[in-house]
Amino acid sequence: MELSEFKAGLDAWLDENESALAPPEGIEHLDQQMVRLSKVKAAVYDAGWMRWGWPEAVGGLGGSTLLRAYLGAALTERGLVEPGIYSMTEVLAPTMIDYADPALAAEMVPRLLRGDETWCQGFSEPDTGSNLGSLACRAVRGPDGWVVNGQKVWTSLAHYAQRCVLLTRTGTLESAHRGITAMFVDMDTPGITARPIESMHGHPEFAEVFFEDVVVPFERTLGQEGQGWSVAMDLLPFERSTALWHRAAFLHHRLQQVLDVAPDGALDPAKVGEVTQLLYAFRARSRGTQWRLHRGETLAAETSIDKVLVAAAEQAVFDLAEEALAEKIILEDDGPAERWRSEFLYSRAATIYGGSSEIQRNIIARRLLDLGNDR
Ligand SMILES: Cc1cc2nc3c(=O)[nH]c(=O)nc-3n(C[C@H](O)[C@H](O)[C@H](O)COP(=O)(O)OP(=O)(O)OC[C@H]3O[C@@H](n4cnc5c(N)ncnc54)[C@H](O)[C@@H]3O)c2cc1C
């Protein structure tokens, strides 16, 4: 299917079905957002839209990745899904397709696409964030599979998830990134405990996850033993590409709302211009990234530029909202005020999740501009 045909068909379908899928006015708590996410994904999957842009081998209908870039943008721009929780599909499914046993990917990916399941990404640990190569959650060979012991933290949606793409240490700590193995873990396996953490925006979006003698069948290894770093390097660019295109559609929608509801004279036109420019700079950059994916190119370190730009744009949009709607955000207690407050606070995390802006700048300096190593 061509993009123009997809857009016309999807827009018409959404015009017809939007009211049945739309959230209530004001704030929705995470439990409700998760329920609606599943409902929206099931509806767009059953109508075929969610299957375009994914390989037929995993239940897709084929076609360009631009189709799923458009779908996610349409859903977030219309406010039908929250972009952060929707993004897990774009972050995790492509790497599952690249690294899981084909039969496992064919069985599992449709469940994620249709919203029948939630998956999470178990990378960060209490002593391992930016320096991912030092992770310590250990897996050793047992008679029935890997035996995993250790802890992850900041694992988004772990307490809702049925599966986890998990990075473990199978080599020595000294072997750094060479001793890491990735696996696809069922979250109901005995020995796994997920304890939600409430973040300052008021929702328990992530969790700390404990593994105590958790047995993971060897068939669930993603790639080969010791290949976990390649899995992570495959996954991270997906976290910084189409998922961010969807996020920018949501930011564009919020910027428009700020302009619509700001009291007369509350906004400095120069500031509005600056924020709009930041958002368009990101969208121009990300548009190129979407086309590179469409052409089948492998994404890598250059997606760090996309991440730095989107984080700056997100914070600028919500800084503007705070400036324009300060009285409402601070003093009022209705749903919309609570939502603006919550989203403003969440925007502070934009320079942290998916790799902090400092780390992205390091990658840009070292790997793209060849400015030398960290000292
Ligand atoms: C909302 C949210 C959702 C998240 N979801 C997930 C998830 O689903 N799965 C997951 O695995 N993780 C997740 N994370 C964790 C995230 O990936 C890490 O927080 C991030 O990589 C930073 O790691 P850290 O928190 O350990 O900070 P640290 O690595 O300890 O960094 C602390 C500060 O030091 C700076 N810094 C560190 N090293 C350098 C350096 N070499 N040069 C310059 N500055 C440096 C950092 O930029 C940062 O400002 C999430 C985080 C947030 C906020």
Domain limits of the chain?
A: 3-117, 120-226, 240-368
Q: Which of 81, 152, 83 is nearest to 121 (CA)?
A: 152
| pLDDT on residue 43 | 98
For ligand 1, the distance from its centroid to the CA atom of residue 243, given in whole angstroms, is 18
In the chain, at which residue ranges do the beta strands (DSSP E only) sit? 119-122, 138-142, 145-156, 163-169, 180-186, 192-197, 206-216, 221-222
For ligand 1, the distance from its centroid to the CA atom of residue 122, given in whole angstroms, is 13
Rounded Cα–Cα distance for residues 367 and 7 (Å)? 37
Ligand 1, atom 22: nearest CA belongs to which residue? 129
For ligand 1, the distance from its centroid to the CA atom of residue 154, given in whole angstroms, is 9
Q: Which of 338, 347, 346, 344 is nearest to 24 (CA)?
A: 338
Closest atom of ligand 1 relative to the 354 alpha carbon: 17
> Helices (H), strands (E): how many in the chain?
12, 8
CATH second-level architecture of 120-226?
Beta Barrel (2.40)
Collapsed DSSP state (helix, strand, coil) of residue 163: strand
**CA 359 from centroid of its chain's CA atoms:** 18
CA distances from 265 to 20, 254, 269, 270, 316 (A): 37, 19, 9, 12, 19
CATH second-level architecture of 3-117?
Orthogonal Bundle (1.10)
For ligand 1, the distance from its centroid to the CA atom of residue 54, given in whole angstroms, is 30
| pLDDT on residue 332 | 75
Residue 165, beta-bridge partner list: 121, 184
For ligand 1, the distance from its centroid to the CA atom of residue 351, given in whole angstroms, is 9
How do strand 206-216 and strand 145-156 relate by DSSP bridges? Answer: antiparallel
| pLDDT on residue 331 | 74
Ranges of the chain with pLDDT below 50: none
Rounded Cα–Cα distance for residues 114 and 73 (Å)? 17
Q: Is 250 in the pocket of ligand 1 (CB under 6 A)?
A: no
Residue 156, beta-bridge partner list: 206
| pLDDT on residue 179 | 95
What are the tokens at 286?
A: 């990300």
Cα separation of the two ends of the chain: 50
Residue 85, beta-bridge partner list: none
| Residue in 87, 124, 203, 343 to alter for ligand 1 test, most ligand atoms within 8 A of Cβ | 124
| pLDDT on residue 113 | 98
Closest atom of ligand 1 relative to the 123 alpha carbon: 11
Residue 164, beta-bridge partner list: 120, 185
How do strand 221-222 and strand 163-169 relate by DSSP bridges? Answer: unpaired
Contact 356, 124 (CB under 8 A): no
Q: Is 134 in the pocket of ligand 1 (CB under 6 A)?
A: no
For ligand 1, the distance from its centroid to the CA atom of residue 314, given in whole angstroms, is 17
Tens digit of pLDDT for each residue in 209-220? 999 999 999 999
Would you call 109 exposed, middle or buried from its count of C-beta atoms within 10 A (0-12, 13-18, 19+)?
buried
For domain 240-368, the CATH superfamily is Butyryl-CoA Dehydrogenase, subunit A, domain 3 (1.20.140.10)
144: left (phi > 0), else alpha (psi -120 to 50), else beta?
Answer: alpha
Say how many C-beta atoms besides its own lie within 10 A of residue 117's C-beta: 17
Contact 144, 215 (CB under 8 A): yes
Residue 65 phi/psi, 5-degree rounding, is: -65, -20
| pLDDT on residue 374 | 66
Q: Is 129 in the pocket of ligand 1 (CB under 6 A)?
A: yes
Collapsed DSSP state (helix, strand, coil) of residue 49: helix
CA atoms within 13 A on the CB side of 109: 26
What's the longest Cα–Cα distance across the chain? 70
For ligand 1, the distance from its centroid to the CA atom of residue 17, given in whole angstroms, is 39
